[in-house]
Amino acid sequence: MSNSAQSDMEIQISELLNKAKVEECKYNWNEEIELLKKAEIISSNEKLKKNNSAINYKLGEIYQTAANFEKTEENVLKCLQLSRKHFEKANKLFVEQKNESYQNASLGFINYLNYIIEPEENRREDFTKIAKNYFKKAKLISAIFRNPLEKQWILSRTERILTKIMFLGRPITSETKAIEKEKGPQHNHLEGQQCL
């Protein structure tokens, strides 16, 4: 591929990602997913692998978010499975790129999703422990990032998921019921975030 063709593809990807961000700010998850899928196809070229890993990671996040708003159990499960699939793709690429922080974060999400999706009760505790460990590693590694925005994003994202995992990992007791009654149901993870 020529430099000009690669540059054109990078511009197309950038435009699609910008449009996807606009749809995310409007909470149009399905539109955002479609735009990200188009960007994923373009970025599947060998020279654009770095873009492809980030796009698959973002698709994993958005499918997970979309699952929160689905109305049927079947659609929720489908979104969660697609989320796991994209985190697995992203993880494979992060391993090749030796991007340890995102590799750990994606492994954390994979295990977190396994915890939610897998029906085997006896394995759920294993998934939460594994997910916690990967998120903690991602958090530690992100502390060395020079880019403060990337560091802030990884730290806030891993904190939210660690909180969720700790909440999910606890048995339902009168104490946890009282806390939920006092604080209300879990809020959308996008609450309080600003769209740029």
Query: What share of the chain has pLDDT > 90, as a percent?
Result: 30
The count of C-alpha atoms lying within 13 angstroms of the C-alpha of 179, restricted to the half-sphere facing its C-beta, is 8
pLDDT 10s digits, 142-183: 554 555 555 555 556 556 555 555 555 444 444 444 444 454
Coil/strand/helix, residue 147: coil
Q: Rounded to whole angstroms, how far apart are CA atoms 57 and 52?
A: 8
Q: Residue 60: which pLDDT band, with cuts at 50, 70 and 90?
A: very high
Confidence (pTM): 0.67
Q: Residue 32: which pLDDT band, with cuts at 50, 70 and 90?
A: very high
- The pLDDT score that the predictor gives to residue 4 is 83
pLDDT, mean of residues 124-149 = 60
Q: Which of 27, 55, 28, 29 is nearest to 41 (CA)?
A: 55
C-alpha dihedral over 46, 48, 50, 52, to 10 degrees? -90
- CB atoms under 10 Å from CB of 178, counted, come to 10
59 φ, ψ (degrees, to nearest 5): -60, -40
- The pLDDT score that the predictor gives to residue 171 is 42
Coil/strand/helix, residue 6: helix
- The pLDDT score that the predictor gives to residue 30 is 92
For residue 196, pLDDT over 50 is answered with no
DSSP for 158-194 reads HHHHHHHHHHHHSPP-HHHHHHHHHH-SPPPTTTTPP
For residue 57, pLDDT over 60 is answered with yes
Please measure the distance between the N-terminal and C-terminal CA atoms of the chain and give it in whole angstroms. 33
- The pLDDT score that the predictor gives to residue 189 is 37
- State the chain's maximal CA–CA distance in angstroms: 64
pLDDT, mean of residues 25-50 = 90
Residues 6+ apart with CB under 8 A from 104: 134, 135, 137, 138, 141
Q: Rounded to whole angstroms, how far apart are CA atoms 27 and 129?
A: 31
- The pLDDT score that the predictor gives to residue 193 is 40
- The pLDDT score that the predictor gives to residue 132 is 67
- Least-confidence region, from 27-41, 46-60, 101-115: 101-115
Q: To 10 degrees, what angle do helices 100-117 and 49-67 make?
A: 30
